[in-house]
Each structure stands twice: as structure tokens, then as C-alpha cells.
Amino acid sequence: LQPKLEYQYKYHGIVALGIPSYKTQFYDAH
């Protein structure tokens, strides 16, 4: 992940690729 997207991913959790998404848990599990 790019630094900005990684920041969002780590600190917001529900943000995937900079887009609010409920599928983040799916990506998190893979």
C-alpha cells in the first residue's frame, strides 16, 4: 500500500484504497 493509503488503512480500518468500504474485513483476512 502507498504511505497515505496505508495510514488510512491502519488508522481508520474501514478504509480500503482510500475509499470507504465494508469489504475491508475481507481484505484484512486475506
pLDDT in tens, 1-30: 555 656 555 555 555 555 555 555 555 554
H or E element: which one contains 18?
none
Q: How many domains does the chain have?
A: 1
Q: Note the pLDDT of residue 24.
A: 53
pTM of full prediction above 0.75: no
Report the Cα 7 to chain-centroid distance in Å. Answer: 8
Q: Note the pLDDT of residue 5.
A: 58
Q: SS3 of 21, please?
A: coil
The boundaries of the domain holding residue 13 are 1-30
CA distances (Å), 4 to each of 24, 30, in order? 16, 21
